[in-house]
Homo-oligomer: A and B are copies of this chain.
């Protein structure tokens, strides 16, 4: 709240006895201004300690050079990697990045979307919350032609660019790997099926099973929110089954961890008695005992790609490209939990 008033383009104009419009053009590198004048203006701006009032410019141009990011939870390795990638590209293109977390809460997600909309972000990048089933709050953006890119948890019904990992083949590879290592009665702890990623992982799982002629036992399929405690409940239920699994494909590393810890307490050995594969390659998965085999998702690269697409879209001002769905490759990382 400095009392000393900021210098404006008018101050520069007055000092040099020229018009503010010329100053504005010079400072924006408009080639229509002569080199002499430009240099003069730049020097004077420097001397007077001029700082552009971006708010005034934003207001006038209706652009904010800001990207909004909505995601479930910042404090999570995959998501913070994505943010890191977004920020990297945004920064290189002169965009600011505003981040808000929905905590997987639908109301909050809606409010964030509205705030971003009111704040006139130039575009948004979204990964939806677990509870999100309606997309009205996001439709606003696509209707108003505000560029929108989804990543990871996408809404198929909204026309927009989408960056996803190949969840299907991740699920397929994970399951195939379990089968290769002797898994026959394979269970799956999956996420909520309103999210496409979990549908796809499940599909991959099922296809790998049937490819090998293995039956998919419905009682071995559990879907929940994939938290630590959800995982614990799931593994408990699986082990109470008359048909106990000899392998489990978990839709994230957290539930894989829950399973490992629960089984350890019960004296059941991983991988000797039960094989386990997780998903996401959380940092802890490498150092747990046994270390967790998992599917790597290239978070940073996804963020870069999402920001890249979004900024291209923003710059193309309405001449929207056909919407793309970019599928990033996943990679199976084989560790101890799945190899006998």
Q: Is the CB of A2 within 8 A of B84?
A: no
A258 CB, min distance to chain B CBs, angstroms: 10
Q: Is the CB of B55 within 8 A of A74?
A: no
Contact string against B for A residues 36-69, beta-carbon threshold 8 Å, 1 for contact and 0 otherwise: 0000000000000001111110110010101000
Q: Which chain B residues border A8 with CB–CB below 8 Å?
A: none
A296 CB, min distance to chain B CBs, angstroms: 14
Partner of A118, one of B51, B79, B98, B118: B51
Q: Which residues 83-116 of A have a CB within 8 angstroms of B?
A: 83-84, 87-88, 91, 96-101, 108, 112, 115
* A261: Cβ under 8 A from any B Cβ: yes
* A77: Cβ under 8 A from any B Cβ: yes
Q: Is the CB of B144 within 8 A of A2?
A: yes
Q: Which chain B residues border A135 with CB–CB below 8 Å?
A: none
* A120: Cβ under 8 A from any B Cβ: yes
Q: Is the CB of B77 within 8 A of A73?
A: no
Q: Which residues 256-287 of A have a CB within 8 angstroms of B?
A: 257, 261, 282-284, 286-287
> A333 vs B261: C-alpha distance in the bound complex, in angstroms?
19
* A32: Cβ under 8 A from any B Cβ: no
A299 CB, min distance to chain B CBs, angstroms: 8
* A132: Cβ under 8 A from any B Cβ: no
Q: Which chain B residues border A91 with CB–CB below 8 Å?
A: 100, 108, 112
* A288: Cβ under 8 A from any B Cβ: yes
Residue from A145, A283, A317 having most chain B Cβ neighbours under 10 A: A283
> A62 vs B59: C-alpha distance in the bound complex, in angstroms?
12
Q: Is the CB of B288 within 8 A of A1?
A: no
Q: Is the CB of B97 within 8 A of A54?
A: no
Q: A98-B66, A119-B96 are in contact. Are A1 and B318 (CB under 8 A)?
A: yes
Contact string against B for A residues 295-329, beta-carbon threshold 8 Å, 1 for contact and 0 otherwise: 00001100000000000000001100000000000
Q: Which chain B residues border A145 with CB–CB below 8 Å?
A: 1-2
Q: A1-B145, A64-B55 are in contact. Are A96 and B101 (CB under 8 A)?
A: no
> A99 vs B100: C-alpha distance in the bound complex, in angstroms?
10
* A289: Cβ under 8 A from any B Cβ: yes
Q: Is the CB of A100 within 8 A of B97?
A: yes
Q: Which chain B residues border A58 with CB–CB below 8 Å?
A: 55, 58-59
Q: Is the CB of B98 within 8 A of A96?
A: yes
- What are 15 residue pairs bridging A and B, where the CB atoms are less than 8 Å apart in the complex? A1-B145, A1-B146, A2-B144, A52-B118, A54-B120, A55-B58, A66-B98, A74-B80, A76-B80, A83-B99, A87-B101, A98-B98, A98-B99, A282-B283, A284-B284
**Measuring CB to CB, which residues of chain A are less than 8 angstroms from any residue of chain B?**
1-2, 51-56, 58-59, 62, 64, 66, 73-77, 79-81, 83-84, 87-88, 91, 96-101, 108, 112, 115, 117-120, 143-146, 257, 261, 282-284, 286-289, 299-300, 317-318
